[in-house]
């Protein structure tokens, strides 16, 4: 089987790495394509090094732009590459613009699509990722899901049951594989931190950072948390740009014990999170990683496409209003999460389960 994998943005690399390795072990031919949606070393190359991914076989170099510009540039550059590689299957992961752009091209070219992390729904159509998720799932032939909620969402939308395969959470494969290795990271010493005595903070959703008033309100609430313990703020480039452009925000963070650092590599970041007391975030993936690690997580959003991290895991939805965030932080600092659940099949063995399904699919007729 010849498989073409698409990666584009930071959360894609940790989802593709285990599947790439498992397919290689099973002797399949693979082509790794990077769209170039993310391009800074800290948002892209570092993950290839940390996760042992090979150099991409092709790179579309699309870069940043509006949604239409970015999606269209991926589609235009991807079509000839897809025809040249002529894979038996396209594998896409997650919900970024590169995911939907390549899926749309492949569907029109008649190339079967497998979507890893299918069936996630926030129900929030103002979120670009929700549009990407729904469209990608509609275009896909094989839908790999991470929990029962996702299966229900897909069935509810009329996806035939035989297309849905519950295989578990592929990001957790990467986490399990790297947790021990990550302990060698010097990141705590570099920032003068002690285990369980600091919080980790990330923020990058357009709805949270693109409007000054919302961003300033959220940062104000997080600054209050700095009074209890240092906060390490791994700052996404979208957010860094907005903070730099706003008068006084950088200084108020510094004064409040909130330490802005550039995005970290996977191993450094995993170690930082695994040893933290609390994570404050609007990231999708981090809601899952904290659930696996049993670290309390405060999510600065009104909804989540990953409700299992709340019903079984360590996640609390804080909303985006400063008072709600302060309240959720207060509840989470002392929260005992050692008895929270890890969802079924989040066990580090999702990639081999996907390979099994793919081989059955290949041999179907
Ligand atoms: C994208 C995804 C989002 C995902 C996030 C992960 C979409 C619609 N959004 O959001 O789902 O959670 O990635 O991090 O696909 N930039 C740089 N360097 C980079 C990349 C981006 O400076 O390497 C800056 C640029 O100013 C760019 C902005 O960040 O305009 C936003 O990048 P973009 O890829 O459009 O969206 P993200 O906010 O990163
Ligand atoms: N991550 C990382 N370094 C950082 C911040 C995040 O390696 O400085 C990892 C995080 O552990 C998770 C993934 O990036 O594996 C999540 O990506 P992101 O939050 O950018 O996207 P989302 O999951 O929200 O789509």
Domains of the chain, residue spans: 2-169+346-364, 184-333
- Provide the pairing of β-strand 164-166 with 258-261: unpaired
Q: Take atom 26 of ligand 1 and give the residue whose Cα is closest.
A: 238
Length of the chain: 365
pLDDT score for 365: 63
Q: Quick one: tokens of 141? A: 């032939």
Angle at 245 between CA 241 and CA 249, to 5 degrees: 100
Phi/psi of residue 103, nearest 5 degrees: -65, -40
pLDDT score for 359: 98
pLDDT score for 114: 98
CATH 3.40.50.11030 given to domain 184-333: no
Residue 38 CA to ligand 1 centre (angstroms): 6
Cβ(233)–Cβ(259) below 8 Å: yes
Ligand 1 atom closest to the CA of 96, numbered from 1 = 15
Residue 301 CA to ligand 1 centre (angstroms): 18
Cβ(255)–Cβ(228) below 8 Å: no
Ligand 1 atom closest to the CA of 94, numbered from 1 = 11
Asked whether the domain spanning 184-333 has the same topology as the one spanning 2-169+346-364, the reply is yes
Q: Where are the alpha helices (DSSP H) in 183-211?
A: 187-190, 206-209
Beta bridge partners of 165: 144
User: Going edge to edge, which strands form the sheet with 199-201?
Assistant: 258-261, 231-234, 199-201, 278-281, 297-299, 315-317
Q: For residue 68, which ligand has an atom nearest its CA?
A: 1
Measured from CB, residues less than 6 Å from any atom of ligand 1 are 9-11, 37-40, 43, 64, 70, 95-97, 128-129, 204, 236-238, 241
Q: Where are the alpha helices (DSSP H) in 93-211?
A: 97-109, 128-139, 148-156, 170-182, 187-190, 206-209
Indicate the fold that domain 2-169+346-364 takes in CATH: Rossmann fold (3.40.50)
- Total-model pTM: 0.98
Q: Take atom 9 of ligand 1 and give the residue whose Cα is closest.
A: 96
Is 28 a catalytic site residue? no
Ligand 1 atom closest to the CA of 128, numbered from 1 = 8
Cβ-in-10-Å burial (0-12, 13-18, 19+) of 99 comes to buried
Q: Take atom 21 of ligand 2 and give the residue whose Cα is closest.
A: 11
pLDDT < 70 regions, the chain: 365
Distance CA 365, CA 311 (A): 40
- Provide the pairing of β-strand 231-234 with 199-201: parallel
pLDDT score for 242: 97
Pocket test for ligand 1, best of 206, 237, 241, 289 (most atoms within 8 A of CB): 237
List 28, 204, 259, 271, catalytic entry: 204
Q: For residue 175, which ligand has an atom nearest its CA?
A: 2
The upper half-sphere exposure of residue 35, i.e. CA atoms within 13 Å in the direction of its Cβ, equals 34
* Helix (H), strand (E) at residue 290: helix 284-293
Distance CA 286, CA 273 (A): 9
């Amino acid at each position: 089987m010849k498989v073409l994998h698409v990666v584009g943005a930071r959360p894609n690399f940790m989802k593709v790495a285990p599947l790439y390795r498992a397919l290689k072990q099973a002797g399949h031919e693979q082509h790794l394509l990077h769209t170039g949606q993310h391009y800074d070393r800290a948002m892209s190359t570092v993950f290839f090094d940390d996760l042992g991914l090979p150099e991409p076989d092709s790179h579309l170099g699309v870069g940043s732009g509006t949604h239409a510009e970015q999606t269209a540039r991926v589609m235009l550059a991807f079509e000839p590459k897809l025809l040249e590689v002529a894979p038996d299957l396209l594998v896409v992961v997650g919900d970024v613009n590169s995911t939907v752009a390549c899926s749309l091209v492949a569907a029109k070219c008649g190339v079967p699509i497998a979507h890893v992390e299918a069936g996630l729904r926030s129900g929030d159509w103002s979120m670009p990722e929700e549009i990407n998720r729904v469209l990608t799932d509609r275009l896909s032939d094989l839908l790999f899901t991470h929990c029962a909620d996702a299966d229900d969402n897909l069935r509810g939308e009329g996806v035939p049951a035989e297309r849905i395969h519950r295989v578990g959470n592929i990001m957790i494969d990467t986490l399990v594989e790297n947790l021990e290795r990550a302990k060698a990271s010097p990141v705590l010493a570099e920032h003068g931190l002690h285990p369980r005595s600091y919080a980790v903070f990330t923020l990058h959703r357009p709805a949270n950072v693109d409007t000054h008033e919302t961003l300033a309100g959220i940062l104000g609430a997080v600054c209050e948390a700095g009074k209890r313990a240092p906060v390490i703020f791994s700052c996404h480039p979208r957010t860094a740009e907005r903070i730099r452009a706003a008068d006084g925000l950088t200084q108020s963070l510094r004064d409040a014990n909130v330490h802005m650092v550039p995005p970290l590599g996977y191993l450094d970041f995993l170690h930082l999170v695994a040893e933290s007391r609390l994570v404050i975030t609007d990231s999708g993936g981090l809601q899952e990683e904290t659930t696996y690690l049993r670290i309390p997580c405060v999510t600065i959003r009104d909804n989540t496409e990953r409700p299992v991290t709340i019903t079984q895991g360590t996640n609390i939805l804080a909303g985006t209003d400063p008072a709600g965030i302060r309240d959720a932080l207060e509840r989470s600092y002392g929260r005992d999460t050692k008895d929270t659940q890890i969802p079924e099949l989040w066990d580090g063995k999702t990639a081999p389960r996907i390979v099994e399904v793919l081989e059955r699919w290949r041999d179907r007729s």
